[in-house]
Structure 1
Amino acid sequence: MSDFLSKLKGIFVLQTPLDVKGAEPASKPAATSVTPVAVIPTNGKVSDKFYDILFGAMETHNQEGFDYLEYKKSLQTLSKMPMDEQTRYFSAFAAAQAMGITSQKLNESAQFYLNILKSEDSKFQESVSLQRQKQIGSKEKAITDLDATMKAKSEQIVRLTQEIKTHQDDMEKMKAEISDAVIKIETTLSDFHATYNDLIGQIGQDVENMKKYLK
């Protein structure tokens, strides 16, 4: 860690991380065609790791001469003295005025660093968006695809089930038709044999009678 970064951490109060209450999420996940995976809301907390990142950006763009950071250092030093907030801000500004610094320049300098931090926020949001797309978006698409596949297969199961029932009905119908056909064929064959036997019986009897009577 650079000496400047160490000084920055001394200027700004860095104690036990506190929960940041009421923080609104910077961006909302994009809606999907299926029910998205539940996002568990969490309260953000101050992190040394992210302070280091943000302080690093401020260090990289540190303005020359006396600026807001030096004024902030003066405020931090005066915070150890028994004075109210207004007196502390005014006393730190009196020292700045001795160096030709105006309140406008201090405000402009503070705004400069705010813009630097906003830029870091934008870059972080972009990075998070890419990670969200990589780690969440692709899986949500896979879930959508699987959902569509399951629906298609469910529809296919319904269709195949109906087709099987139709085939079963057709099979039962053909079994009944076969049974009827067997009965008709067997009845026809029995009737034929009965008629055949009756006829050959008559002819046989005539043959016997001709042998008996026609000598």
Structure 2
Amino acid sequence: MADSEPGIGKKILSFFIKESTEPTQVSPADNTNVATASAPAAPVEQPKPTSAPTVQNAAGTAEVDRKFVQHFVELLEKANLPGPDYFEYKQALRSMEGLGLGEEKQFQAAWASFKAMGGITDNSILKTSADQYLSILGKDRESFLKDVERAVKERVGTLNDELKKLEDNNNAYIQEIANLQKKIDDNKNRLGQISGEISEQSAKINANKDSFEVTYQSFVSQINSDLSKINQYLK
């Protein structure tokens, strides 16, 4: 493989997301007041393009979180099976874009190119390997959801336990004399903070979960769509 040819990770990335070719622009600072007639202003260093946290999926139907995109790309890159399989076929299919072929013709032409690449005549390798990648993605999702559940219990559960304990203490303090009033007021202030922390932590965890789900569905939808068309066109 030539050094200029992109690695498997870059190829996988291109299968599932649309990378924007327009860098984020930042207006240069105005140095008019700094320059003098005898000393020209120093050249303004152009800011480097920044990567957006979200990108479009390959179908252009949803935004996915870049960190989860990279996570799935690395996961699939490590799981890439030896020899030609679904990913190599997907690469051949992408090469058909822009040739003016209909979808069916693209799938069939890509299959012809794929067969020539590896001397394979049975398209079951595409279905088998795609199913294996779907299985890997599914197991990763199960693991992630367990981590989410554990995070909820550790972060929100601990705060809820503290909330209940402070409420019980306050019920007891109310029965005591005035010198306990300060303790009651302090605990009430903490209760207000905990309520805010519970909402904040729950929102962060759920937002992260939703972002993961959108990215996961984007990958699964793309693979399932390809499988459907493989079954339809490669008979």
Q: Taking structure 1 as the reference length, what is the TM-score of the superposition?
A: 0.54
The structure carrying a bigger helix percent of its residues is: 1
Matched, 1:14 2:18: yes
Compared CA separation, residues 11 and 149, structure 1 to 2 (3 A): same
Task: Work out whether 1:102 is the aligned partner of 2:122.
Answer: yes
* Map of 2:66 onto structure 1: 48
Identify which range, 112-121 or 87-96, moves more after superposition.
87-96
User: Higher relative contact order at CA 8 Å, sep ≥6: structure 1 or structure 2?
Assistant: 2
Which residue number corresponds to residue 28 of structure 1?
none
Q: Deviations over 1:116-151 (max 9, x none)?
A: 111111221122222222221211221222233334
Which residues of 2 match residues 18-33 of structure 1 at below 5 A? Answer: 18=56
Describe the superposition over 1:132-180 as per-residue Cα deviations: whole angstroms up to 9, x where unpaired. 22221211221222233334445x37xx8xxxxxxxxxxxxxxxxxxxx
* Superposition TM-score, scaled by structure 2 size: 0.49
Asked if the contact 2:86–2:130 (Cα under 8 Å) also holds between the matched residues in 1, the reply is yes
Query: Where does structure 1 lack aligned partners over 5 or more consecutive residues?
Result: 20-43, 161-215
- Please give the alpha-carbon distance, in whole angstroms, between the structure 1 residues aligned to 2:16 and 2:65: 13
**Alignment-derived partner of residue 198 in structure 1:** none
> Match for 1:124 among 144, 147, 160?
144
- Return the offset for 1:115: 0.7
Q: Is the 8 A contact 1:71 1:92 kept in 2?
A: yes
What is the CA–CA distance in structure 2 between the aligned matches of 1:87 and 1:13, rounded to whole Å? 23
Secondary structure at 1:122 match in 2: helix
2:157 to 137, 140, 149: 137
- Whether the aligned pair in 2 keeps the contact of 1:96 and 1:102 (CA below 8 Å) is no
**Equivalent position of 1:5 in the other structure:** 9
1:65 aligns with 2:83: yes
Given that residues 56 and 64 in structure 2 are in contact (C-alpha distance below 8 angstroms), is that contact kept between their aligned partners in structure 1? yes
Alignment-mate amino acid for residue 141 of structure 1 = D
- The structure having more radius of gyration, on CA atoms, is 1
